[in-house]
Amino acid sequence: MMSSLPGNVPELRVLFLLLLLLPLHPISGGGGGGHDYHTALHLSILFFEGQRSGRLPPDQRVRWRHDSALHDGSTAGVDLTGGYYDAGDNVKFGFPMAFTTTMLSWSIIDFGRNMGPELKHAVRAVKWATDYLLKATDIPGVVFVQVGDALSDHNCWERPEDMDTLRTAYKIDTSHPGSDVAGETASALAAASIVFRSSDPQYSRLLLNRAIRVFEFADRHRGAYSSSLYRAVCPFYCDVNGYQDELLWGAAWLHKASRRRIYREYIMRNEVVLHAGDTINEFGWDNKHAGINVLLSKEVLMGKADYFGSFKQNADGFICSLLPGISHPQVQYSPGGLIFKAGGSNMQHVTSLSFLLLAYSSYLSHANKVVPCGGKSVSPALLKQLAKRQVNYILGDNPLRMSYMVGYGARYPQRIHHRASSLPSVQAHPAHIGCKAGSRYYLSPNPNPNLLIGAVVGGPNVTDCFSGFQALFPRVGAHNVHQRTACGPARFLFSPSLNLASESSGAQKWSPCLIIVKDSNCSQRRILEVCIVYLEDIGLFLFVFGVFFDYKNWIETKNF
């Protein structure tokens, strides 16, 4: 199976760097803090074009991508072409796609004025998603939530233009509910309706009306979509945190988009029932609590909705949980200063939580307010500074001195876990590359032939060690010599805390370890065990690494 570790998989749900850049520095004013945010914003939006599915438009800027999945939905008698592939695979997962659409829209609503010439491209990125979501919700009482069999897809390594794996269309309906994904889809459509309110009123009304209908379906037929479609969506996008937050999230966006009293009353009536204050330091595709509180707090801070005061209190508590130095913080930081939460793809937490820091900072600033945290008053400027440090870490201000955004800076990952990027383009290799024929490109030690500009990979671990399976290949340059990372055909990564020799043997200590190792404080035996587990998982030659290699002697012969 062509599976992967989370360290270097670019995903739509991770691409909140785009959102973070907007309030940091207006585009018209250039970059700040040593980084060119204008360029990073430009690259971030380009990433979405690299993830497009369907028939590509004439103005497609990522030229190595071509039309793909032109028959999606045909087996179900519907048109489900378009939308975005989720990560490095060729599956269209509706839940994270809808969440990404909601967040893209939120960024445009709040910070679009700072985007300059990139605004039109950001709006197009939203419309590429909403056009697909409209197709997925065209039948009343039905939402198509996924296209592609994930297990079949993950067993192959092929371009989306070539894929011949199962393109099963999975749906929820009145008999098989999915309030979580339906609620998120309603949120995406409602938020996007605000984006298009002035530029395309007719399209905006279509989005809002569809959002209303989908939300009614989500609320009337309650249940988690992973219960209805477990075999299809798990373990990839299981709903772990329940669907209650998505119902409040959807109502909050419909309240903002429509200004109808019914949604305000729904929120107030269901605040306790749907657990609005739960898990307030979480925010992502599966947990919307913190986002709900920040979104509704804006109205409180603007003096428009005192009845949402409890959400403002929850938002304050969330913000305090992110601040280092405040008593009993709930969020962990790496030694290099990166927000870290256990689980795969940490950058999704970094970017989504930082976006809320920036949004709340903006709301507080306009209201001339501060956040009370443990007897201290925290200013909006401090929140912005903390979020900015997270963005700068991603762009290169980190212990490894590398950018986690592909195409930004002098050193960034060039072998990311991404099918279309790692295989030659159709233009360069017109012949079909089959399911298993792509494995030689998957295992290649060379940089990916196609640069997935703007991709933000999953990121480092809690010790700031970049531990994705595919190796990091630094760009050639004098400033890269003697850096703490060194990668070659064996996919090694330097980490000073590692010791490949036995602690009791008195042998010389060595710092390199296999890049797939995630625990930087492990012994040689532990390293071998971890490597064996992951090598089995990705189907490589376990016996070669686990039996025949003498790690210490092999490393001694290498010139690092």
Angstrom distance (rounded) from CA 270 to CA 264: 10
Cα 553 from chain centroid (whole Å): 40
- Given a contact cutoff of 8 angstroms between Cβ atoms, the answer to whether 447 and 498 are in contact is no
Report the DSSP beta bridge partners of residue 373.
376
Is 417 annotated in the active site? yes
Cis peptide before 235 (omega within 30 of 0): yes
Q: How many CB atoms lie within 10 A of CB 216?
A: 15
Among candidates 403, 540, 527, 414, which has minimal Cα distance to 470? 414
Cα gap 531→183, rounded to integer Å: 40
List helix spans (H) across 259-370: 261-270, 289-301, 309-322, 347-367
What count of other Cβ atoms lies within 10 Å of the Cβ of residue 223? 18
Query: Rounded to 5 degrees, what are φ and ψ at 512?
Result: -70, 150
Token digits for 45?
A: 């939006």
Give the ranges where 149-200 is alpha helix by DSSP (H).
150-154, 179-195
Counted residue by residue, the chain has a size of 560
Secondary structure of residue 371 in the 3-state scheme? strand
CB atoms within 10 A of CB 437: 15
Q: Which residue out of 38, 417, 418, 432 is catalytically annotated?
A: 417
- The residue written with tokens 């196609």 in the block is 450
Cβ(466)–Cβ(485) below 8 Å: yes
Give catalytic residue positions. 417
